[in-house]
Homo-oligomer: A and B are copies of this chain.
Amino acid sequence: MYTIKDVAKRAGVSVATVSRVLNGTETVREQTRRQVEEAIEALQYSPNGLGRNLRRLETKKILVVLSTISNQFHSRIVRGIEDRAAEHGYTVLIGTTRDRLETLLRYFEMIQTREVDGAIFMSTHFCKPEEADFLTQAYPIVCACEPMPDGRIPYVGIDDEQAARDAAGYLVSCGHKRIGLICGGKLTRDTYGSSYLREKGFRKVMEENGLPLLEADIFREGLTYNSGKRAAQQMVRQEGLPDAVFACSDAAALGLIRELYTNGYTVPGDISVMGFDNTAMSEVFYPSVTTVSQPQYEIGCQAMELLLARIAGKEGERRLLPHEIICRESTRSKKAKPESFAACTNVPISTSEA
The answer, yes or no, to whether A94 is at the interface (CB within 8 Å) is: yes
Contact of A254 with B284 at beta-carbon distance under 8 Å, contacts A75-B68, A82-B96, A93-B94 already known: yes
Contact of A53 with B115 at beta-carbon distance under 8 Å, contacts A75-B70, A280-B225 already known: yes
Q: Which of A66-102 contact B (CB under 8 A)?
A: 68-70, 72, 74-76, 78-79, 82, 86, 91-96, 98
Task: Report the Cα distance A95→B62, complex, angstroms.
Answer: 11
Chain B contacts of A348 at CB under 8 A?
none
Taking a contact as CB atoms under 8 Å apart, the answer to whether A59 and B50 are in contact is yes
Stretch at the interface among A7-15, A40-48, A232-240: A40-48
Taking a contact as CB atoms under 8 Å apart, the answer to whether A113 and B49 are in contact is yes
CB distance from A111 to the nearest CB of B (A): 9
Chain B contacts of A91 at CB under 8 A?
95, 106, 110
The answer, yes or no, to whether A354 is at the interface (CB within 8 Å) is: yes
CB distance from A199 to the nearest CB of B (A): 25
Size category of the binding interface on chain A? 35 or more
Partner of A354, one of B106, B138, B258: B258
The answer, yes or no, to whether A114 is at the interface (CB within 8 Å) is: yes
Task: Report the Cα distance A53→B48, complex, angstroms.
Answer: 11
Taking a contact as CB atoms under 8 Å apart, the answer to whether B44 and A138 are in contact is yes
Partner of A52, one of B57, B113, B138: B113
Task: Report the Cα distance A281→B262, complex, angstroms.
Answer: 16
Chain B contacts of A255 at CB under 8 A?
284
Chain A 176-197, CB-CB to B under 8 Å as 1, else 0, gives 0000000000000000000000
Chain B contacts of A262 at CB under 8 A?
354
Task: Report the Cα distance A52→B94, complex, angstroms.
Answer: 22
Taking a contact as CB atoms under 8 Å apart, the answer to whether B44 and A114 are in contact is no
Chain B contacts of A44 at CB under 8 A?
138
Task: Report the Cα distance A92→B107, complex, angstroms.
Answer: 10
What residues of chain A have their CB less than 8 Å away from a CB belonging to chain B? 1, 44, 46-54, 57, 59, 61, 63, 68-70, 72, 74-76, 78-79, 82, 86, 91-96, 98, 103, 106, 109-110, 112-115, 138, 225, 254-255, 258, 261-262, 280-281, 284-286, 354
Using A47-B113, A69-B78, A281-B281 as known contacts, list a sample of 19 further A-B pairs with CB atoms less than 8 Å apart, ordered by residue number in A. A44-B138, A46-B109, A49-B110, A50-B113, A51-B54, A52-B113, A54-B54, A61-B115, A63-B93, A68-B79, A69-B75, A69-B94, A72-B72, A82-B96, A225-B284, A255-B284, A261-B286, A285-B285, A285-B286
User: Which 7 A-B residue pairings sit nearest by Cβ, starting from the closest?
Assistant: A49-B113, A70-B75, A94-B94, A46-B112, A93-B93, A50-B54, A49-B115
